[in-house]
Structure 1
Amino acid sequence: MKPINNSIASSTQFHHIAIKCVDFDKSKTFYTETLGMNAALQWGEGDGRGCMMDIGGGTYIEIFAGGIKTEAPENSVIHFCILVEDCDLYYNRAMEAGCKSKDTPFDLVINAKEKDLPIRIAFIYGPDNEVIEFFQYR
């Protein structure tokens, strides 16, 4: 897909999504060691801890301590997606790190009005049951 500028401000970009974690250290380890992100900013102590995880390109996942364990996320965010070069690589790394699979990697063609978009995607449940999509252009 070719980026299209926002009609109001051409410099608008997605900055971050925030997750409240049940086990802050486990989540931080998952995003850094399993998915290769870097901790750009860290602050606080105990349940007041927070961290901006740099996924690259000026986009972040912000994690906060103090979450409450639930079986499934129940809010308006269905999932968040990370653009990757190798969907299978990230999916397999997440499985090796103990994550649960939502959907194994599969190929799909989005038949959009503008053009067909061939992709490969997979979905996993992250350490706090957040649904993460790995998205690869084919």
Structure 2
Amino acid sequence: MIKGIHHVSMKCNTEEEINKVKDFYISVLGLKIVREWPDGFMIYTGNGYIEIFTNADGEHRLGSIRHFALLTDDVDMLAEKVKNAGYELIVEPNDKVIKSVPEYPIRMAFCIGPLGEQIEFFYER
């Protein structure tokens, strides 16, 4: 029986990328490393993990998974922190109502992370 998504995994190719990942997820977004091993570490998001492999030779390419969303109570604050840290917002904070049954009001923004990953900041209204 599936209980949820445990983690999203990414791979760093260089020491510079590892440092950028740590700066972005730890310093900018305020998340914490909860587990480390010789070839990687895990960052806790509040209800799952981002797993970072640091053993090089990874590929950076956008595949069938387009983005991952981080649930937040303050999309605007995170978007501002990301911009102030020099990262690109590709969708500014905005409100939407997803025309589902029932309708689903949200606030969201998207940025590009340190490895080229698309990250959505998502608030359920």
TM over 0.5: yes
Q: 1:27 aligns with which of 12, 21, 25?
A: 21
Moved over 2 A (4+): 67-70
Quick check: 2:90–2:112 contact (8 Å CA) kept in 1? yes
Residue 128 (structure 1) aligned with residue 115 (structure 2): yes
Aligned residue in 1 for 2:81: 93
Mark the CA change 1:82 to 1:51 in structure 2 (over 3 Å): closer, same or farther.
same
CA RMSD of aligned residues (A): 1.6
Q: CA deviation at 1:25?
A: 1.4
Quick check: 1:69–1:128 contact (8 Å CA) kept in 2? no
Give the TM-score normalised by structure 2. Answer: 0.89
Q: How many residues align?
A: 121
Q: CA deviation at 1:95?
A: 1.1
3-state SS, counterpart of residue 77 of structure 1:
coil
Q: CA deviation at 1:21?
A: 2.2
Aligned residue in 1 for 2:3: 12
Q: Which has the larger radius of gyration?
A: 1
Q: 1:64 aligns with which of 33, 53, 66?
A: 53
Give distance in 2, aligned partners of 1:92 and 1:82. Answer: 15
Residue 40 (structure 1) aligned with residue 34 (structure 2): yes
Q: CA deviation at 1:121?
A: 0.5
Give distance in 1, aligned partners of 2:52 and 2:77. Answer: 23
Give distance in 1, aligned partners of 2:99 and 2:62. Answer: 29
Give distance in 1, aligned partners of 2:57 and 2:68. Answer: 18
3-state SS, counterpart of residue 122 of structure 1:
strand
Mark the CA change 1:18 to 1:95 in structure 2 (over 3 Å): closer, same or farther.
same
Aligned residue in 2 for 1:4: none
List runs of 5+ in structure 1 lacking aligned partners. 1-8
Query: Percent identity, aligned pairs only?
Result: 36
- 1:113-137 Cα shifts (integer Å, max 9, x gaps): 2x01110000000011100000012
List runs of 5+ in structure 2 lacking aligned partners. none
